[in-house]
A and B are shown apart, each in its own frame.
Chain A
Amino acid sequence: MQSLKRMLGYCPHPPLEGSPEQGVFYYETHWLKTEIWDFASSLDGLVGFTILYGLLFLASLIALPVVGTAEEYQLILLRVASAISLTIALLYLYSKSRSTSFLSLGRSRLMLSLAESLIALIAWAVLLIFFGAISGSYYLGGSAPGHWSALPISLLVGLLGGLTVYGYSAPKFEKGMGTLLAIILSSTIGALLFFAVSMNYPFVFLPMSVLMVYVSLQTGSAIGPIVATSLLFAFFSLWSFSPFPVGFLQPTYGSIFAAILSGPLVALIHPRLAGITQ
């Protein structure tokens, strides 16, 4: 059994003939197989997240002054924005000291990345709203007016967070451990930034975060996902700290289904868009 698994682990193609058991073994080993292609690059990616969440933890120790509710959310966002800015500065110094690449933005594929990200964002948002409307279980609406003033800072948080997740860690993970692990790790740890700014429904964003890391790695450019994430932060910050949160489980399920449908759509249009934008 062990030798069969080992053999199938190295097999570069699926079995065309043979017993169904062989197929099961092949696909089990195929999906469970993880390889480290570049240990140092994997570590660099982890260093990025360690610095980011280390600084966010330190930022949490800074007590915010008592202000009105309108200013409260601006201060929360400012605290997080400062921690991410410092993270980016430290990552720059770290990359310099190790003579490795700092940010991989993929400026040459900017248009493709922007187009795919915005299509993914719109498809996901429309489907999310649609599932809410047909199930009648949640709705998006009724912002707290004070939060409009937080809009520019939430855009900034999305931008800086996107730079760290899509521009720094995700490409390093991809180089180090392959695309699948890069998507899982970057989206899971990256989506925690939504927790850090206390959006009322952080799990709603995890499927979208998976989709954005996928687009970032597929197009080879982080710019589109950074823009889309900034828009997402800005839009949903209007509802944060709202006395009427949209709910918890239902929008999360809606988001998962929306992302499951949007993902293949983006994959389908990728070759066509790549041809147009080249």
Chain B
Amino acid sequence: MRPGSLSQKALLGSLITLVLLFSVLSALKLDYDNHNPEVLNAIGDNPGVLAAFQKLQDLTPQNAIIFAWWDYGTAIQHYGLRTAVVAYPSSDIINSTGMGQTVQGRLELQLFGRFESSQKIHDVARAFLSPENEALTIMKQYGASYVLVFYADVCKSGGFSDTAKFPWIARIAGENFSNYLTISSQSSQQGSCYPQYLPGPDAGNSTMLRLVFNSQFPPQHFNKIFENDVARIYQINYP
């Protein structure tokens, strides 16, 4: 059999490169889309978390804007039928997301992910780390009228826990989380969940932690309108 000509080699080489690139792109797209509804599906398995999102429909007006960390944004829109201030990460905080932990995940996010503006994400993080009066200014800027927080530990809420997310939120806000939150890796009693998150010295200066540890730091400008075993919904009382 006679080998092919140089032009055939060049053509085939180009086609192989194209097919290879296209195959990689398709496989990554499928992988990204497979992971995309993961959070919504996980909520379906967690009745307490699901109830909190669904309660937004009953307790808030249709045009209400909900202030919550971006992780809950798509669920607020899907299950709560309300607008979230942020529903996606910004491109500069990819390393704080679950998918951003691998090279492949970061590539998929860069190629196919939806992003909020970095300013918005940092504003939300800053609002949660700030005292109430400063947080209200930011919340008002985005037209928010309600706040949703998940106060339960990760064992109870299956990952829907603002205290577990707090170290990352603090880092994004440019703060040191250990001033606000103490993480205890020792289980105080058998069968209890760990790590345990306890309020730190500056916890009272963080709006998020005031809404989470509300018995120790009663919020001044937030009315609790819903609470179950994992989440709370607050109405914002602007002065």
Which residues from chain B contact A42 at a C-beta distance below 8 Å?
A: 12
| Given A56-B27, A60-B33, A43-B15 contact (CB < 8 Å) | yes
Asked if residues B4 and A37 are in contact (CB atoms below 8 Å), the reply is yes
Contact B27 A76 (CB under 8 A): no
A39 pairs with B12, CB closer than 8 A: yes
The chain A residue sitting closest to B43, CB to CB, is: A66
Asked if residues B4 and A39 are in contact (CB atoms below 8 Å), the reply is yes
Question: How many whole Å from A39's CB to the nearest CB in chain B?
Answer: 5
Q: Report the stretch among A112-120, A193-201, A207-215 that lies at the interface.
A: A193-201
Interface 0/1 of B1-43, CB less than 8 Å to A: 1011000110010011001101111111111111101101110
Do A34 and B30 touch (CB < 8 A)?
no
Q: With an 8 A cutoff between CB atoms, is B114 at the interface? A: no
Q: Is A35 an interface residue (CB 8 A)?
A: yes
Among A64, A66, A188, the one with the most B-chain Cβ atoms within 10 Å of its Cβ is A66
Q: What are the residues of chain A within 8 A of B19 when measuring CB–CB?
A: 46, 49-50, 53, 189
Asked if residues A57 and B1 are in contact (CB atoms below 8 Å), the reply is no
Check A66/B1 contact, CB under 8 A, given A43-B15, A195-B27, A195-B28.
no
**CB distance A34 to B9 under 8 Å?**
yes
- Interface membership of B185, Cβ < 8 A: no
Residue of A nearest to B78 (CB): A66
Question: Contact at B9–A68, with CB atoms within 8 Å?
Answer: no
Instruction: Identify whether the interface residues of A are mostly helix, strand, loop, or mixed.
Output: helix
- Which residues of chain A are near B9, meaning CB under 8 Å? 34, 36
Complex CA gap A258/B38 in Å reads 33
Q: Which residues of A contact B44 (CB under 8 A)?
A: 66-69
- A145 to chain B minimum Cβ distance, whole angstroms, is 12
- The listed residue (A43, A64, A67, A196) touching B27 by CB distance below 8 A is A196
- Indicate whether A192 sits within 8 Å of B27 (C-beta atoms), given known contacts A53-B22, A69-B42, A248-B102: yes
Minimal Cβ-Cβ distance residue in B for A49: B19
Min CB gap A265→B, angstroms: 30
Interface residue B45 (Cβ < 8 Å from any Cβ of A): yes
**Number of chain B residues whose Cβ lies closer than 8 Å to a Cβ of chain A:** 34
Nearest CB on A from B126, distance (A): 31
| Cβ contact within 8 Å between B26 and A54 | yes
Interface hub of B3, B9, B12, B32 (most chain A Cβ within 10 A): B12
Q: Can you name the residue of chain A whose Cβ is closest to the Cβ of B40?
A: A66
Q: In the bound complex, do residue B1 and residue A198 qualify as a contact, i.e. CB atoms below 8 Å apart? A: no
Assess the B20–A39 pair: CB atoms within 8 A. Answer: no
Query: Given known contacts A39-B12, A49-B23, A57-B29, what 17 new A-B pairs fall within 8 Å (CB)?
Result: A34-B9, A36-B8, A36-B9, A49-B19, A50-B19, A56-B26, A57-B30, A59-B30, A60-B29, A60-B30, A68-B41, A177-B12, A192-B26, A197-B34, A198-B31, A198-B35, A202-B104
Instruction: Identify the 5 closest CB pairs spanning chains A and B, nearest first.
Output: A36-B4, A195-B27, A192-B27, A35-B3, A57-B26
A-B contact pairs, 27 of them (CB 8 A): A36-B8, A37-B3, A37-B4, A39-B4, A39-B8, A42-B12, A43-B12, A43-B15, A49-B19, A53-B26, A54-B22, A56-B27, A60-B26, A60-B29, A64-B33, A64-B37, A66-B37, A67-B41, A70-B45, A80-B30, A189-B20, A193-B27, A195-B27, A195-B28, A197-B34, A198-B34, A202-B104
